[in-house]
Amino acid sequence: MLSMKNISKVFKTDLVETHALREFNLNVAEGEFVAVTGPSGSGKTTFLNIAGLLEGFTEGEYCLDGVNVSNLSDNKSAQIRNEKIGFIFQGFNLIPDLNLAENVEVPLRYRGVKSSERKRRVEAALEQVGLAARMKHLPTQLSGGQQQRVAIARALAGEPRFLLADEPTGNLDSLMARQVMELLENINQSGTTIIMVTHDAELARRAQRNIQIVDGQVCDFSMYQKADHSVVAELKKVADQKQAAELNQIVSGA
Amino acid sequence: MLHIKPIVSSLMRSKSGPLLLLLQIILSVAIVANASFIIHERLTMMQRESGFTEDQILSFNVYNFDPEIDNVKQNIIDQQILRDIPNVIDAASTNMMPLSDSGWMDRFVDGPDEDTAKSMPGFAFYLSNDHWLNVMGAKIVDGRNFRPEEINTRIDETGMLAIISQPLAKEFWGDESPVGKTVYQGEQTIKIIGVVEKLQGAWVDHRNFEYSVLANIDFGGNNSNKTYVVRSLPEHIADLQEQIVKVLHAENPNRVIDSFSSLTEMKNLTYSNHRLMATILSIMVMLLLLITALGLTGMVMFNIQRRTKQIGTRRALGAKKTDIVSYFMVENYIICIAGGLIGGMLSLQLGKQLMSLYSLPILPIVYPVIAVVGLLVVTTLAVIVPAVRASSISPAMATRNV
Amino acid sequence: MFLYYCDLAWRSIKKTPMLSLLMVLAISIGIGITITTLNVYKTMSYNPAGDRNDQVNSIQLWSQGLDTWDEFNTNMTFTDVSNLRNNNELAIKAASYRTGLAMQSDDETKAPVLRSVRVTDTDFFTIFDVPFLFGNRWNKSVDLQPAYQVVIGEQINNTFFDGKNSVGKTIYLNRKPYQVVGVIKDWNPKPKYYDPTNGAFNDAEHIFIPFSLSEQEEFDVWGNTSGWRFEPMLSYQDRLRSEKTWIQFWTLLETTEEKNQLQSWLTRYVEQQRSFGRFTDTAKTPAESAQISPVDKLLEDNNAVPSDNKILVGLSVLFLIVCLVNILGLLLTKFLKRAPEVGVRRAIGASRGQIFAQYMVEVGMIGFIGGIVGLLWAWGTLTLLHAEFNVDPSVTGLDSSMWFVTPLIAISTAALAGVYPAWVVCRTKPSVYLKAQ
């Protein structure tokens, strides 16, 4: 489904070069639910932007759904985003001027879907998140959890092959967070691949597979997860220490 | 106390906004300077004294189509009839009307030999009798008026006398009095007997507009189509028209009497293009300033919105309200003055172009200066309101997450 | 998709009413002023000859002496016009000048009126394609053998003959009976291209009489008479014999060949006249001393469009540019504020082109509204000009093309102002604005 090989991403300014990702490797199979965790600044967001074709990368190869999507034109990546990828953001990112139905239909508009078909899909998507009755409301009239469900409906309306969620519960209280999580699990069970970035360990544990990004590289613990928790803990400690050491270096160097 | 340097560097960093404002001000200055110059020029032109008692003069046309009429005799009779109308102060025939855009233009030479004589500048050539100056309210400053017995009826009769306008006399003879001098035209010799202070011609745009000559020829008899002027107090002018038609038709019905027009109307009509130009340009200048002001206000309001947190932070760090206001004022003054300088130069260039293309006079430097000053005032008005509003942003904004 | 963009644009315009109003105001004022001056310019520079411009030609001759006038005079002397009228090589030709006569009909109840009258030849009606309502122009023989015949305009026919066919009836001009041979339809070309010498925007005459009557009737000249040397005009004969210019001369030339033929005839004519002691300015060759001007050249030479008008068009275009810059700034402000929304749309799969199109539609809509309001401004201003400044209604009438030109200028001005802001906003990196707002 998704395969990243030796992806590197370097941000350059006049003064410094920052390696956001370095020789990053990841394979995600169809239908998987992957949780991505990692300390802030580790490259999670960069990973997500690259996975979602929102940003290019410096080196490496990225195949999505069997298609090589490295170095695509802006138009082509917009099309792939539109057809194959659904986004869910921490800040919901609904368009405030549009009502729920209009928000949900945005991806369908850009795909050029006919009006009747649009209507059907919008209703179905809102039905799925339990907000069909409020489709004429504006986003500001909803609670955070409801807004996030609309955002999920918007992602679903396009019937994407996989969903990218960036801290989908970050702005929600725990009850609402659980509801959203359940919704995501349902979606996953119906066959959609999901990659979710989160810093919430409990949520991450509910995913099939956990990966941690540290310092722009993957530490994949999933294979140990069920075997030996102590090893996982140990590895995590090593990773944390490595980070701490680097931090020390920066502090003392500066 | 004005921290210009940080403001400038902050302006340099933000890309298009100030640049657009600068461009707008440059163009505005160029337009406003040239437009206000043209307006001023036209207003001055319209305010020139004509030398006539404009609101007391009514002119009209008489066309005798009766072949039996002896035009020369009829002319004398008609003028007497006009003078006898109650409320008419005086009446005369005339070959042309001042400020009317149509008339006679001629020139004389100063010697009998055409090849060696020096030519006077072209002038408006009025032909009438001893009543004309009284009708028109023109003032003799040197010499005398015609006497009734001196009036001729034909251009080729001997004894042609002329009264000339002072500007023409000054132009040709300098400070020397022209009274008593003889000038020539073909076979004809003309003696100058008087000078009137002011006597404008028919064409307001002509460079010789102030040069005129009145000759002692009652031209009303030469032609079946003639023009008369009568003088009356302004309050009687309106009723006069009907009376004139009545008395002249009573004398002989075989004529058309029409084209009544007061000199005030003629003046309005002949200057209407200039008035139009001045009006359109004034409207343009005002709208331009309005649009510039609105644009400025919009931009400042946007900037304030964008910088709410920054302003809050400054306030929290101890900036006074006046500091915030002066920050925005100085920022916009800098743009305005920079734009004014470039725009001033551009406007001088534009003025040069207009001068070469349309023979407009050269733009004096004072107009760009006025334009810049005007824009500074507009800037102040446009910026002060949003700036004061910005200064009342609470320092607490600094800590709020916007 | 276009309708979707329109819908989004309209929402966006409504969402910031003050800003939108400001933009519409700016663009509409700019457009209003530009259209006003452009409209006046357009009507003044209109060429009524249209397609026939190259065929309808007037002739000018350099009959003046050395060091007198700097330019060709539009009018010609009676001597030259008479000779040209006798030139049999020239098939269609008409001399023309303006006079004024008192007019009466048999109907005693109608008061006599003084009317301006065109004295001309019968080909005048052919050359200027004058449409007839009743009857026809006078016979060509009348141009050689004077006859008291007249062609009148519809208005006069309405006043004096109650709009009935008056062919064969009599009108009196200066108490002389003239037989009506034709009635023309309302005909008032603006500018008055057949005689731009005195007031290019004066009304056309409604009475036309044969030029051949001039010598016996001694019609006054209600137009410019210009002389380059002193020649007293004590009698009408003096005028006819003088070197003063006062008559326009027109001809219809279908082909270049005809034009060349006329030019060579004129050259020979000038040579001949020189041998008689006329055309004394030898600084010009005989070929240079004759000019055949199509309508557009004649209008240009007579300054049908005053320079004030050109200055106004120039300044108003500058004004429009200021408005454009003004709007550019406001649009940039407005669009950048909406960058986060653009980020979302981009993430969801909108291409740059789609975002660009969305914003250009919004800009176009502002331009369109501005154009409509601008048209109203222009219409109001022109009406005001007509009422307050005695400007001819033909000049202040809104040219029909303006209904099409105005929205076009408005939309393209707005588009020009919007292209940069729309481009900036469509380049928004989708990832930048997505992290917690």
User: Could you say which of A45, A78, A97 has the minimum Cβ distance to residue C351?
Assistant: A78
Query: Is the Cβ–Cβ distance between C117 and C205 less than 8 Å?
Result: yes
User: Could you say which of C114, C307, C389 has the minimum Cβ distance to residue B272?
Assistant: C389
Residue-range domain boundaries for chain C: 2-45+306-426, 50-301
Residue B203 shares a structural domain with residue B335:
no
Residue B38 shares a structural domain with residue B81:
no
Instruction: Read off the pLDDT of each residue in B85-100 and give the average, rounded to a whole number.
Output: 93
Contact residues on chain B for C337, CB-CB shorter than 8 A:
302
| C180 CA: distance to closest CA in chain B (Å) | 20
The burial class, CB within 10 Å (0-12 / 13-18 / 19+), for A88 is: buried
Any C CB within 8 A of B361 CB? no
Any C CB within 8 A of A90 CB? yes
Q: Which of residues 231-260 of B touch C (CB under 8 A)?
A: 254-256, 258
Arithmetic mean of pLDDT over chain B: 87
DSSP track, B74-124: HHHHHHHHHHHSTTEEEEEEES--TTSS---EE--BSSS-TTTPPBPPPEE
pLDDT greater at residue A31 or residue B6: A31
Residue of C348, C356, C426, C437 to mutate for A, most A C-beta atoms under 10 A: C348
User: Model confidence at B402, in pLDDT bands (50, 70, 90)?
Assistant: very low
Residue B94 shares a structural domain with residue B29:
no
* Residue finishing a domain among B197, B226, B253: B253
Q: According to the model, what pLDDT value does residue A49 have?
A: 87
Half-sphere exposure of B53 (CA within 13 A, CB side): 20
| B22 CA: distance to closest CA in chain C (Å) | 10
User: Phi and psi dihedrals of C406, rounded to 5?
Assistant: -60, -55
Residue B278 shares a structural domain with residue B350:
yes
Any C CB within 8 A of A52 CB? yes
Residues of chain C short of pLDDT 70, as ranges, are 390-392, 435-437
Residue B306 shares a structural domain with residue B157:
no
The 10s digit of each residue's pLDDT in A211-235 is 888 888 887 655 544 445 555 566 6
Q: According to the model, what pLDDT value does residue A229 have?
A: 56
Q: Which of residues 151-180 of B touch C (CB under 8 A)?
A: 154-156
CB contact under 8 A, C429 and A55: yes
Residue B231 belongs to a domain: yes
If you count residue pairs, one on B and one on C, with CB atoms under 8 Å apart, how many are there? Answer: 134
Residue B110 shares a structural domain with residue B241:
yes
Query: Is the Cβ–Cβ distance between C426 and C355 less than 8 Å?
Result: yes
In this predicted structure, the answer to whether residue A250 has a pLDDT above a threshold of 60 is: no
C-alpha dihedral (C328, C332, C335, C337), degrees to nearest 10: -150
| B96 CA: distance to closest CA in chain C (Å) | 13
Residue B107 shares a structural domain with residue B186:
yes
Residue B76 shares a structural domain with residue B211:
yes
Q: Percent of chain B, pLDDT > 70?
A: 96
Residue B383 belongs to a domain: yes
Query: Is the Cβ–Cβ distance between C278 and C63 less than 8 Å?
Result: yes
Domain that holds residue B296: 4-47+272-398
Residue B249 shares a structural domain with residue B374:
no
Q: According to the model, what pLDDT value does residue C130 have?
A: 94
CB contact under 8 A, B63 and C102: yes
Distance CA C327, CA C324 (A): 5
DSSP state of C51: G
The 10s digit of each residue's pLDDT in A54-80 is 888 888 999 998 889 888 888 888 889
The 10s digit of each residue's pLDDT in B149-184 is 999 988 888 899 999 999 999 999 999 999 999 999
Contact residues on chain C for B154, CB-CB shorter than 8 A:
234
User: Could you say which of C343, C349, C434 has the minimum Cβ distance to residue A78?
Assistant: C349
Residue B258 belongs to a domain: no
CB contact under 8 A, B65 and C328: no
CB contact under 8 A, C352 and A78: yes
In this predicted structure, the answer to whether residue A243 has a pLDDT above a threshold of 90 is: no
Q: Which of residues 247-266 of C touch B (CB under 8 A)?
A: none
Which chains lie within 8 Å of chain B at 3 or more CB pairs, if any? C
Contact residues on chain B for C323, CB-CB shorter than 8 A:
291
Any C CB within 8 A of A148 CB? no
In this predicted structure, the answer to whether residue B1 has a pLDDT above a threshold of 50 is: no
Q: According to the model, what pLDDT value does residue C136 have?
A: 95
Q: According to the model, what pLDDT value does residue A242 have?
A: 65
User: Model confidence at A237, in pLDDT bands (50, 70, 90)?
Assistant: low
Angle at B153 between CA B74 and CA C232, to 5 degrees: 125
Residue B224 shares a structural domain with residue B335:
no
* Residue finishing a domain among B253, B283, B309: B253
- From the centroid of its chain, how far is CA B204? 9
**Cis peptide bond N-terminal to A39, omega within 30:** no
pTM: 0.79
Query: Is the Cβ–Cβ distance between A134 and A119 less than 8 Å?
Result: no
* Residue finishing a domain among B253, B288, B322: B253
Arithmetic mean of pLDDT over chain A: 84
Residue B166 shares a structural domain with residue B73:
yes
**Number of domains comprising chain B:** 2
Residue B205 shares a structural domain with residue B288:
no
Q: Which of residues 11-40 of B touch C (CB under 8 A)?
A: 16-17, 20-21, 23-24, 27-28, 30-31, 34-35, 38
Q: Is the dihedral of CA B170, B173, B177, B182 positive or negative?
A: negative
Contact residues on chain C for B299, CB-CB shorter than 8 A:
329-330, 333
Q: According to the model, what pLDDT value does residue C339 have?
A: 86
Closest-approach residue (CA) in chain C for A158: C348
CB contact under 8 A, C350 and A91: no
Tell me the range of B63-67, B315-319, C47-51 where mean pLDDT is highest.
C47-51
B and A interact (at least 3 Cβ pairs within 8 A)? no
If you count residue pairs, one on A and one on C, with CB atoms under 8 Å apart, how many are there? Answer: 83
In this predicted structure, the answer to whether residue B286 has a pLDDT above a threshold of 70 is: yes
Residue B266 belongs to a domain: no
User: Model confidence at A236, in pLDDT bands (50, 70, 90)?
Assistant: low
DSSP state of C125: H
| A83 CA: distance to closest CA in chain C (Å) | 8
The 10s digit of each residue's pLDDT in A78-121 is 889 888 999 898 888 888 888 999 999 999 988 888 999 999 99
Distance CA C241, CA C237 (A): 6
Element (H, E) at B12: helix B4-13
CB contact under 8 A, C389 and B292: no
Q: According to the model, what pLDDT value does residue A220 have?
A: 65
CB contact under 8 A, C114 and B288: no
CB contact under 8 A, C349 and A81: yes
The 10s digit of each residue's pLDDT in A45-56 is 888 889 988 888
